[in-house]
Amino acid sequence: MEKKIDSHLIYDGKIIKVYKDTVKCENGNEAFREVVRHHGGVGVLAIIDNKILLVKQYRYPNATDTLEIPAGKLELGEDTKLCALRELEEETGYSAKSITQIAKFLPTPGYSDEWLYVYEANDVFKVENPLNCDEDEEIEVVAIDIDKAYQKVVNGEIFDSKTMIAIMHAYINKRKI
């Protein structure tokens, strides 16, 4: 295991902090690690009438539109389930009577400490006066049949990891849904 010797904050932003750490490797050599610190995020698989609710939005870092499950970042110390329900409502106008965690994973373990939590919404319903999206978000809600969503993963049209995990879960378990 590597041992941290020193750490310097390089960037302190609204969403991330970036550190340059000096570590001692198992073989005794010293090395540098650039580490992105992030509070984590959530995503929600919501299915209505055999259709997955996805959001289409432009992603600036990749200069492309994406199809993703409703998702968002955690605030420091925020409960992941509450965050998931909030993001589902803000981004789609729907909520759920309950949610069940289906995955917890590291999206980029080579340079980030971020954990992502993916939940499945149970008993999804339309909210009468939903919470508003973040003011910098432009989102289009898209409902796609589970089989079509699976094909979009297979043919590379859906390439967001949390969304791929959620769609594969839905596709594998669709007989139970």
pLDDT digits (tens, 9 = 90+) for 57-83: 999 999 999 999 999 999 999 999 999
pLDDT in tens, 19-64: 999 999 999 999 999 999 999 999 999 999 999 999 999 999 999 9
Q: Can you give the pTM of this predicted structure? A: 0.92
Whether 135 is a known active-site residue: answer yes
Torsion angle defined by CA atoms of residues 118, 124, 127 and 132, in that order, rounded to the nearest 10 degrees:
20
- What integer pLDDT is reported at residue 18 of this predicted model? 98
- State phi, psi for 170 to the nearest 5 degrees: -60, -45
Mean per-residue pLDDT, 148-171: 97
Q: Report how far residue 8's alpha carbon sits from residue 33's, in angstroms, rounded to the nearest whole number.
A: 11
Q: How confident is the model at residue 156 (pLDDT cuts 50, 70, 90)?
A: very high
In this predicted structure, what is the pLDDT of residue 175?
Answer: 58
Q: What would the pLDDT profile of 106-142 be if each residue is shown by its tens digit? A: 999 999 999 999 999 999 999 998 777 777 778 999 9
Residue 174's pLDDT band (boundaries 50, 70, 90)? confident
Q: Looking at 75, 135, 138, 157, which residue is catalytic?
A: 135
Give the residue-averaged pLDDT of 12-19. Answer: 96
Domains of the chain: 3-38 (no CATH), 41-172 (3.90.79.10)
pLDDT the model gives residue 131: 75
pLDDT value at residue 176: 58
Helix then strand then coil, % of the chain, to nearest 5: 20, 45, 35
Residues with Cβ within 8 Å of residue 67, at least 6 apart in sequence: 54, 55, 56, 142, 144, 152, 157, 158, 160, 163
Q: In the predicted model, is pLDDT for residue 154 greater than 60?
A: yes
